[in-house]
Structure formats: C-alpha cells, structure tokens
Structure 1
Amino acid sequence: MNRDKGMHPSNHIIAVVLLTAFIFAGGCVSLQKQPVKVPTVSTEMMTTQTLTSEADKAWRMRDYVTSELYYTRLLARTDIPENVILPATERLAVSSFKSGHYHEAEARLEEWKRLSDKAISSPVWQEYYFETLSAIKDYPKLREHLAQTMEDPFLPWAIRSTAGKNLSGMNQDENSLAALERLYAIAPEDANKTELEQWVMNGLKSKSKAEIDAMNELIPSGGNLKFPYELLVFEKAVRQAEDTEYWPMSWRAMAGIIQNGQITDKTFFTEILSGLESKYGIPRVGIALVLPISGRFQEYGWKIVRGAGAAQWEMTKAGLDVDVQVINTEAPDWLERLQNLPPWYTTIGGPISVKAFKKLEQAGIYADKVTFSFLAKPGNLEEGKQAWRFFSSPEDQIRASLDLAVNDLGITRLAVLYPQEKFGRQMSKKFFDMAAMRGARITGMESYPPRDFPKWGKVVGKLVRAPQKQAQNEAEGLGEDAPLAETDFGAVFIPDTWHQAQLLIPHFFFHEADTLVFLGPELWSQALNSARDVEARNLRLTVAPGAWWPASDGAGRLKEVMNREGLGTPDFWIALGYDFIKFAGRLGTFSEGWTAETVNGRIAEAQNMDFSLAPISWDTEGHASQKLYLFRPEQNGKTRIDAELVSTTLAKAKGRRAARVKAWEEKQAELEAKKAEAAELENTEQ
C-alpha cells in the first residue's frame, strides 16, 4: 500500500516519545485540538471518487480537520472501493488524533488493526496508539498493550523495544525499572542490549542528583549487578567521583560492574572509567587488621588473615589497589606500629579481644582511623559515632530467637534459666526486655550455680513447678505415675555454653517438660561446628543462632574462591576476614578530619554487597545488626532450620505427650473398670 511521507510520524515525534517514556517521565505529550473548518462544498454532492481525491488532498496539505471529515464521510459510502478502505482508515485514525478527537482516533486505530494483521507491526500504528491511549488516560489498557507488545516474539525488535521503553515510563516506582530489566532479558542480540545500555545511560545524564538518588533507592536486594539497576549505581558512582572523598568507593563500584555485571558493551563503560582514572588516578585503599597472630588466640587471627588474603587477591585481580597490613596485638609495640602506618591506612578491622580493644580505645586511635571492632560491642565507645561494629551483638542473637518463638511459633509465654555469672545475667536482662517489647511475658525465671551440678535438677524442677504439679496430683488422689501438667510457658532461654546446656536440658525431660523449645546463644552454634556424637534425639527442639552456614549462597562463593586459590576450607573466622576486606575496600579512604556522618554515608553504600556470613546491615545512625541463621544439633554438628521445621517438630512432641496422657487415662479407666467388676462380684457372692 502506498503512503506519502505525511503518513509516517516524524523523527521528532519518536524522539519526544522516547524522552517522555524514559524512567519516571512526567506526563504525556501536549496535545491540542485543531480549529474546525467548514468545507466549502457539501460532501453529499461529491462522487465517491471526488471525495477520495479531496480527502487525499486535505491529508497531503496536513489539513487534518478537513481530512478527518472527508475520510469519515468516505468510509460511510457503500460504493467505496475495497482497496481504498484500509488507507482511508489509517489516515482517518491519524487525522482524528491530530484534530484532538482521541476517542474517535482509538476507535479508528482498532478498526485499522481489524482490517490489517500488519497494523501492530507498523511503527506508525504503535506510536499513535500509544499517544491516543495516553491522551484519553486509559493507562490500564495502555500498560497491558505495551506489556503484550514487548513480549510478542513475532514482532520486530524495534517495535518491542519501543514498547518496553514506553512501559518503563508508565509508573514512578520499581515497576519502571522492572520493565527495563525484562526488556533487556528478552533482547535477542547483544547489539540490542548494547543499544538499551546506551539509551539508559543517555537518559540518566539528564537526571538531577535527587532523581538519581531516588532511583537508587528502588534497587532490589542483590540487583546491583543486574540491568538496569547496575547502570543507576554506575551513574551515581560517576557523579560521586567528583568528590575525592568518594573516588575510591566510586571506582570500586564502577570496576565491579564492568567486571561482574550484566553489561554487554564493556568498552563503553570502560572508556568512562578510564577517563575518570586519568583525571583522579587509580585509588589506593589501606586497611589495617589488628589481630592476635601469636599467643592463645592466634588460630582465629590467622584464619581471619587467610580470608582477608583471599578477598585482597580477588580485588587486586579486579584492578583495585588494596593494601592490607596485619598488626599482631600480642606484640608489645602494636599500638605504635598502628599509629605509624602510612596515611592511606584509614580503616581498622579488629581487635577480637576486649583487652586489646581497651588498649586501642585508651590510646585514642579510633579518633584518627575508622575502627570496626570484631566484637559484640565496641568497648565504651559510642557505636555509629566513635567506632563501628562488624560482628553480631547479643541483641542480634536474642532477636533471632524471639523472631522464631514469638513471631513464627506464636509462643508468648517464655522462661529464662541462667547461670549465676555476668554473661548469664546480662543476656537474661536483654532477653527479658526484648521479649516485653514484643508483647511476650516471662512467666518463669530461675538461676543456677554454674558449677554445682547436683543442684541443677532441683532448679529445673522449680522452674517447671514440678513439686506443685506432683502435689496437685496427690490432692486429686492420683498415683505417682500420673502425668504432670504442662508448663505455662512454651520456650526457655538458657544463656550458657553448649557444654552446660547439654547437661541442663535432660533435667526438663526428667520432669516431663518435653514440649518446650530451648533457645540458646551463638555460643551453642559455634561449639556445634566441631561437636561429635551428640545425643540429638531429645534436642530436636533446641535452637541456636549463628552467622556461618557452609551451605549458604555466600559461603558457596567463598568456597569457590578458596578452592581456586588453594587456601583450604572456609569457616566463620575466614569468612569474617573475607567479608570485612571486601566491605572496607568499598568504603575507600577517609581524609583527615572525617566525621561520623561521612562514615555512615559510605556504609550505606558499601553494605550493598554479597556477604559470605549472614548479612550485616547498618542503619543511618551507624548501628549494625546481623540477620543470623538458626540451627539445631545433629549427631555430628548442626543443621540449619526454619520456622516450619520447628513448628512440625513441636507438633510431633505435643502429639507424643498427648498419646502418653491418653494411654495413662485408658489404663486408669481399665483399672477402675476392673475394680468395679471385682466389687460387683463380691457383692453378688455375699
């Protein structure tokens, strides 16, 4: 079918569509109705051939009001030639749109599609259909149309691509980015992906800093290395590079995307990074690890160093200049060595002992170097202002246990059994307070002498109120074999070592408190890493939090690195070193006079990484929290569990108890029946 040049939308129209359709575009193209002109000659006096000629003339002159009228009258004729119907319908659709009659335009576009199965393959039809539905604000229909068009494998890629781009401008939320993510995923050729990458980057250049920041907030977890989210990160890094404080972090973000991201046209992005490198240089990041490399805890120190070495090697291969200096906290001059490091060593990781941290604190080094302690608490320093934490806290451990017991299992009555020592008392107080914040009640609390084993059975009996239950049975005339009533709490927190817990928990079963969930600290899961021949049958409701799980995705990636470099099998301490160096490398260097606000701002960016341990996150105030895994004992170690598994195990325990009580009741009923029968027989004989 012949079309004159006026039949095609101009390049200007397409450009406007693309610009307005790009991410978070505001509103549609400004459209106004054309002034109405009255034809000088009545169309009723024209022959069909003349009317066709006049309509085409008005069309060529871009007199769309007149062409709309003429083509409308023409299509109403019964003697219109068959070969005129489709072109007349096409031109009527465009004329109606140009005249501002958008509902009429929609009807004619739908008729055009009915007459020709090639309509949806036409850029003209697609563009005017988009503009028409936008003009009448039928957004649900438009959104559905664009999504279907984008996914249609039988349409030309140019049509599908434009539909996807337009769809990305439909919403001012994460759906816009999700549409681009899907469009990139279905792009058939690398050239198509390259075009999308450059289209997005060109669009981002026109965005303000506030818009870029807002769009970065919409990046889903784990999306930093996926299109289009990686380009948002890249563009933000490009802009931050202007601030020399942020350059090392920006460089790390851009280099990581080029090396590990989904981008197809690596040359395009490498040229951007190279231009910045020529201006600012390749950044050098210095990280100091203060650890025990000799003495009692040297095993842990060396493991952290191994993990740090693996991370440093990975980063060096990516082109990042990372210096890692290890300082032995067992050496008498370790503080002096730390203070004399070159100026680019601005971040400290460690120590792992409270004693060493106190020395660092007293020396005031934390005021000059950004310090991340490998401890549950950064000494007497204010977390998020004077020092930071790269380790789980007691609150993290208790939170994981309460999430399971209260939120998942619905247990709102709890008990605490703690050793009479500092750790036990502190953990018990935190547990009490955090449980109360969730609306749970502590209905039982007892303490025990940590080394006086003979007294433990009596203490546990008191906690579960065994003497009162036995007295109640006696008052009701029940024998010693009568089951004891259940406790009024569903879970008990025992803040002690795993060795002690193994000796305590059997006392609960002795007193028939066998439907309880036993909650412990991270000490349990750490000990279970090397435990063997554990009597796990009665410990299936024993739960402990932990940061290391070898079967997690992050741990799997660390294993691959360790195996590739011949560094052995990773564990918690190795993962700690590996994660910290990756994290600290993302922070970059800090200039003299840094502030807590600067550090917390860097942390907000750096924490968006893949952890091999349970992920750590920091709030805007710099307070860390770690979402710990949950474990239960197995014969030779531990296994990760979830709420569903614990719930099922608890239901089985309750089922076994109910069956035991029922069996006792049936036996009692049988005995009563025999007594009654004997009495009746005796009366008969008399």
Structure 2
Amino acid sequence: MQHVFSRATVLALLALMVLSAAGCGGKRSIIIPQEPVTPQVQQPVRRSALDEGSEALKRGDAATAERIFGMMTARTDITPEERLGAWRGYSMAAEANAHPNLALDGLEGWRRLDPAADAGQDWQDTWYRAMSRISRTESRQRATAVFGDAARPWGLRAQAGLIVATRQWEGGDISGSLQTLSNLWSQAGAQAGAAGSQSFRAALENRLFDELKRSDNATVEQLAATVTPENEGRYPYNIIELESARRMAAANAGSLRALETLTRLQRSGNFNDPNLLGTVLTPLEQSGMRASRTVALALPMTGAFGNIGWKISRGAGAAQWELSRTGVEVEVVVLNTESPDWLDKLAALPPQCVVVGGPLRTNSFGAAKERGLTGQRAFFTFLPQLDGGEEGRVAWRFFTSPDDQVNALLGFTQDALGVTSYGVLHPDDAFGGKMASLFAERARARGASVASTMSYPTGKHQEWNRIAGSFVKVRTINSYPVPGATFEATFLPDSWKNTEMLVPNLFFHGEDRQVLLGTALWEQGLAGQKSVDVRNFGLAVFPGAWNGAQATPAGDALARTLREAGNPDAPDFWVGLGYDFVRFASNMGLPEKGWTPAEVNRRLADAQRMQWAMGALHWSADGHASQDLFLFAPTSDGFKPVEPTEFRQKLERTRERHEARAKAAATATPQ
C-alpha cells in the first residue's frame, strides 16, 4: 500500500527527526518511533498507556516507562490531561533511567502545561535527583538561577540553595558553603508560619544529611573542623556533627565517641525533624553502650602543693557531676602523688582508664616515665614544658607554657601599642636566664629588637639600684636624673615580691614611661591581696590563663555547679583546670587497647573543640600545646583585665609628661 504524505506532515516529521538527532549528545527530550506512522493509519492512544507507563515505573522498569511516556509526548491526538500525565511520567522515568538532562527537559515540559507543577513534591524531588546526576558546573549554574528567582516556590528554591552549597564545598569553598546554608535556614524561618517553617527546616536537615552521607571523608572532616561548642547546636553545624558521629559509629573504636557526641546533640534539642537524630543514636543505645569513662588525676593532695591538688580535684568533681546530668558517666580517680604507692595504684587502674591528668610536679612525671607508665596511658601533664622531643610523642601538656606567656606579651605590646624595641631585666637564676633568652628569641622572630639585656643578683637587693640605673642608661642633667634608654618596654621575669622591690629603682632614675611586662608568677603573688602599692605599676601587664571577670558559658556553669554543691567560693585557675580537663578527657574517646601517640594527636583536633572555662588550649598536628591567655594589670586589691584602648591612652599621656620633665630638666637653672 502506498503511503501518501501531506506537506505539513512531512515538515512535522522532519522537525521531529532533527530534534531526535540533536538529542544524541545526551540531552534528548523527545523519543521518536523508529517507524513513523501517517495520520491516515495512526491509531488513537489508548487511555491505558498512562497506566502501562506508571506500572512499568512502579515495578522498576524505568526504560520501558521512559519509552511509553516519551512516545506519548510526541503524539498530537491526545487530550491535555493525557499530555500532562505523559510529561510528568516521562520526567520521572527519565530520571530513574539515569537520563538527567532528558528528565530536566521533561520537567520543563510538565511545567509549561502546569505552571504550578514545580510547587509539588514529585516535581521537586525529580528535579533534585536529576540535578545531582549532571555535571557539577552545570548543576551549580542551574541551581544558582533557581535559587535567585523569587518567583519560584520556596521549597524548590531551598533545594536549589542546598545544591549550591554542596557544589561550593565540593569546590573547596567551605566558608561560602556554610554561609549559604545559614542563609537558607534563616529564610526558611520566614516561610508559611511556624508550622510551615518547621516543615521546611526539617526538609533542609534531611537533605543536608543525605548530601553529607554522599560526601568523601576529606570533605566531611573539613566541614567538621568548623564546628565549635558555640555553634554545635544549630544548623548546619548540628547536621555536620551528626554525620561525623554516624561515621564514628561505623568504626568500632569510635562508637563511644559517637555516643557522647550524639548525647550532646540530643541535649541541644535543636532538630526540627525529631526522628533524624534517632536514626544514628537509637542503634547505639540498643546495643547497650553507655557513655562512660574513667579518668585519673595524679595530684599532690598533701604537702606544700596539697592546696592546689584539692582545688584541681574540686573542679574535676564539678565536671563529673555536670556530665552525669547529661547522661555521660565519668569516674574520676584521684591519686596522691605524695603517697609512696601512687604509681602502684596507677598501674592497677582498669584498662578503660586511658587518660591521666597530671602530674603537677616534674619529679613525679619523671617517676611515672621511669616506671614505663607513659607507654600504657596517655599523660596530659600539668607542666609548663616537657623535655625536648617528648611532647606529642611520650606525653602531652595541659598547661600554659613560657612560650604562651611571651607570645601574649609581645602580641599585645606590638599590635595594641606599637612597641618595636624591648629591654630585658632578669634575675641571675636559671629561670630568669631561660625566660630572658626565650623573650629575646621570640621578639626578634616577630621583627622587634632587644636593645638591652641585664641581670641582677637575686639575693643582693642593695645592688639593684645601681643595676637599674645602668639598665636605663641614666644621666644627670642639671641635677635631674634623665634616662637614656631607647627601648619602650621592659620584660621582668621574676616573682611579684621581687618585682615590687625592683621597679621603684627604675622610677628613682626617672624611668616611668616603660611598659612593664611580667609573667604568670605575678598572678600567684597578687591573688587574694587586699592592699597592694601599685603607684609604680600603672603601665604594667602580665598574662594569665584564668579570667574570672569575663563571663563564659563554661565558667558560668562551673560556678553554678560549685554553688549547688555548697561551695560559695568563686572558682580560680586551678579549679578551672580540673573542670576543663575532665570534660576534655571525656571527649578524647581513646580505645582501651592499641592506641598510639599518633592516634592521640589525631583525636586532639576534635577533643579541643569544647567550651573552655580557662583560656582555650590548642594542639598542633604533632601534639604540641598552646594556650590563649588573658592580660591583666595589677590593682590595689589584686589585678584586673587590661583594656587595650585605655592602656594605650595612659601610655601616651605618661610619655608626654616624661618628655615635658626631660625638657624642663634641660632648661633648669643648675643648682
């Protein structure tokens, strides 16, 4: 039988063939039958074709469904309702058949027939899945366009924003990604009232969780590094932490750490989808696992340092009680290092006691090391320094170092005051000499100079005045002492008691413009003082690791717990040290067996992300500790935090008065 084609029919078929050929590059939006059928012999589409396609899609035969629906979209003799159903089915089938570009084209065909289609869940879910299959560059471009189109439904725009954030972190832009996610969360709060807001935010939580599951370990670790105690409870950081915990739980050695993390997240209660956390937490709880730890503290509980040991243990007890109220059981075992059998007791502790805080004294740590106990447990000593090469390998520090003190002083004087030249006046003992050398080394490393270094005999106070005059290069002008020192600040690494006697000698020789820099030793001498003569210390500063004048969540919690326990005294550094250590140790999550120093160093990156009562401690990748310190100024009743602007203004006024006196001395009439 001869087929007869009209001109219009021929043109239509040619157009369809061109569209089909153009789609061969991966973006075919229409499927053409291999054997064209003329209108004269074309049979009407049976209404059951939609059902056939839907049934094929339900049973997982996406290829057949795509073919059936694709054929329907090319027909001209179907009703508008059938055409809408065909485009809908074709979009979903093409996506399921891993043809994302065809699916996206199909979605546009669906939306042309029903402009409100993109507000529906099926349309949005198909779009989201298809976008995850195309190239990262194209998906980011498409998603950015949708995200910025205020005319599109919010639910779709939110999913587009999440895709943008995902592509950002895949491209290394972690901060940009987090900002996009935070913006999404804020915008979701303004959508459709409280109920709608919760629904949108619950969807954001689940979508982000799904995206993180598909991300590689390196990316998740980068994102997890941005989680802090302050942001842990809010989106997107709570979802990032949830995924980190899920991955930890997948490793047997990390299950306990995961449980502790999940317990913290559960306390925050900041999930809009209440079931999301349970997907990770419930299996751990059902396994019978409990968040429990045993932590040892090696402290002098008697003798000259017994008072310090009791303060540390008091803070540790506060942390233990606080953790127990949140479902984390910590057993704290305190060993008196002044007792002759303390090493035997330490060796006999159960294997789940992996982390030891202390000792506080160098000789006690040496004894533990000689006994071989440092290879059995992870010691976090309360010592300012360890022997060369030991830190991060044999043991770790949980204490301020001389480096921390010097860096804090140099940072303040250089950055806030513009000081570039220093003098060092130190006692002639081992501590003074070591601190003087360290200060000079760090100052020069920061581009500053040490113009003068001089020592004084510790026990010969009668010589201090002469040495002070030589140090400031004093000369007499018309009977007035005028110092000739060119440096702007003086480092004084000595106790407060000795410094109190030394500094008046500088003033005797007319040197009142120096910024006087002390060490943490000053805090010990000033703590609890009620009547201190600070007339010569208006420009003095010293570093410390405890700032009782600054309210922090952890510090407030410590003080509250102590009050509840019947202890009205305000906590100090030593109490804060014990409190922070127990909470830190409970975060370490070291396995009972098989841990290594490298494993400790790796876990430190997570364990240090907590709210600190004292100045925050940080550890480098090789396990070396540093601490953020506060700066204080002596007062008549102790000391107070330094306010940089106020201090700088006082320094400028003092320098002006000094210059005026020097000029007056130069023009005075000799007597």
Q: What do the CA deviations read for 1:318-372 (whole angstroms, capped 9, x no partner)? A: 2122211111112221111111111111111111122222222221211111101
Cα contact 1:346–1:370 (8 A) shared by 2: yes
Matches within 5 A, 1:31-50: 32=27
CA distance in 1, matches of 2:389, 2:213: 42
> Residue 633 of structure 2 contacts residue 641 of structure 2 at CA under 8 Å; is this kept in 1?
yes
Q: Does 1:333 align with 2:326?
A: no
Q: Where does residue 47 of structure 1 map in the other structure?
A: none
- Partner residue in 2 for 1:624: 625
Alignment partner, residue 462 of structure 2? 454
Query: Could you say which residue in structure 2 is the equivalent of 1:660?
Result: 661
Query: What's the offset of the Cα at 1:557?
Result: 3.4
Q: Secondary structure at the match of 1:502?
A: helix
Say whether 1:535 aligns with 2:543.
no
| Other-structure match for 2:516 | 518
Q: 8 Å contact 2:302–2:338 — kept in the other structure?
A: yes
Q: 1:559 matched to which residue of 2?
A: 559
- 2:334 is paired with a residue whose SS is strand
Q: Is 1:288 paired with 2:296? A: yes
Written as runs of structure 1 = structure 2, the 5 A alignment for 1:49-448 is 62=73, 146=147, 149=150, 157-159=154-156, 161-169=158-166, 171-172=168-169, 173-174=173-174, 175-188=176-189, 189-219=197-227, 222-260=230-268, 262-279=270-287, 281-378=289-386, 382-448=390-456
Deviation per CA, 1:109-137, whole angstroms, max 9, x where unpaired? xxx9xxx9x99999999x99x99xx9997
Question: Judging changes above 3 Å, is the alpha-carbon distance between structure 1 residues 654 and 141 closer, same or farther for their aligned structure 2 residues?
Answer: farther
Number of residues of Structure 1 aligned to a counterpart in Structure 2: 567
* Contact persistence 1:287–1:584 (CA under 8 A): yes
- Report the Cα distance in structure 2 between the residues aligned to 1:256 and 1:566, rounded to whole angstroms: 27
Q: CA deviation at 1:630?
A: 0.9
Structure 2 residue ranges without an equivalent (≥5): 1-24, 33-69, 77-90, 92-100, 102-107, 190-196
Q: Which moved more, 1:167-176 or 1:485-494?
A: 167-176
Return the letter of the residue paired with 1:563: R
Is residue 327–residue 338 contact of structure 1 (8 Å, CA) maintained in 2? yes
Change (3 A) 1:577 1:393: same
- Tell me, yes or no, if the aligned pair for 1:245 and 1:591 is still in contact at 8 Å: no
Q: Deviations for 1:479-524, whole angstroms, at most 9, x for unmatched residues?
A: 223x625421111111100111111112222212221111111111
- Relative to structure 1, the CA distance from residue 601 to residue 261 in structure 2 (aligned partners, 3 Å threshold; closer, same or farther) is farther
For 1:445 and 1:410, how far apart are their aligned partners in 2? Answer: 20
1:436-459 Cα shifts (integer Å, max 9, x gaps): 222222111111111221211111
Letter aligned with residue 543 of structure 1? V
Match of 2:499 among 489, 501, 511: 501
Offset of 1:250 from its aligned partner?
A: 2.0
> 2: CA distance between counterparts of 1:263 and 1:301?
41
Q: Distance in 1 between matches of 2:378 and 2:561?
A: 28
Q: Within 2, Cα distance between the matches of 1:380 and 1:360?
A: 17
Shift of 1:198: 2.0
Q: 2:471: which partner in 1?
A: 463
Say what the alpha-carbon RMSD is for the aligned residues.
4.0
- Measure, in 1, the Cα distance between the counterparts of 2:120 and 2:30: 29
Q: Deviations over 1:83-110 (max 9, x none)?
A: xxxxxxxxxxx9xxxxx9xxxxxxx9xx
Tell me which amino acid in the other structure corresponds to 1:497: S
Amino acid in structure 2 at the alignment position of 1:305: S
Task: Tell me what 1:591 maps to.
Answer: 592
Given that 1:532 and 1:635 are in contact with CA atoms closer than 8 Å, whether structure 2 keeps it comes out as: yes
TM-score (norm 1): 0.74
- Per the TM alignment, residue 426 of structure 1 is displaced from its structure 2 partner at its CA by 1.3
Amino acid at match of 2:522: W
TM-score by length of 2: 0.75
Q: What is the distance in 2 between the residues matched to 1:256 and 1:249?
A: 11
How far apart, in 1, do the equivalents of 2:559 and 2:148 lie?
41
CA distance in 2, matches of 1:332, 1:319: 36
Q: Of the candidates 479, 484, 490, which is equivalent to residue 492 of structure 1? A: 490
Question: What does residue 43 of structure 2 align with?
Answer: none
Most deviating of 180-189 and 443-452 = 180-189
Q: Does 1:651 align with 2:656?
A: no
1: CA distance, partners of 2:222 / 2:344? 44
Q: Residue 262 of structure 1: CA displacement? A: 2.8
List alignment gaps of at least 5 residues for structure 1. 1-29, 38-58, 67-93, 95-99, 101-107, 474-478, 673-686
On the 8 A contact 2:144/2:161 being kept in 1, the answer is no
Q: 1:600 to 1:138 in 2, by over 3 A?
A: closer
Q: How far off its partner does 1:283 sit?
A: 4.2
In the alignment, does 2:645 pair up with 1:633? Answer: no
- Rounded to whole Å, the distance in 2 between the matches of 1:447 and 1:455 is 11
SS of residue paired to 1:230: helix
Matched with 2:62 is: none
Shift, 1:32, TM fit: 3.8
Residue identity in the other structure for 2:657? R
Identity of aligned residues (%): 32
Between stretches 281-290 and 594-603, larger displacement belongs to 281-290
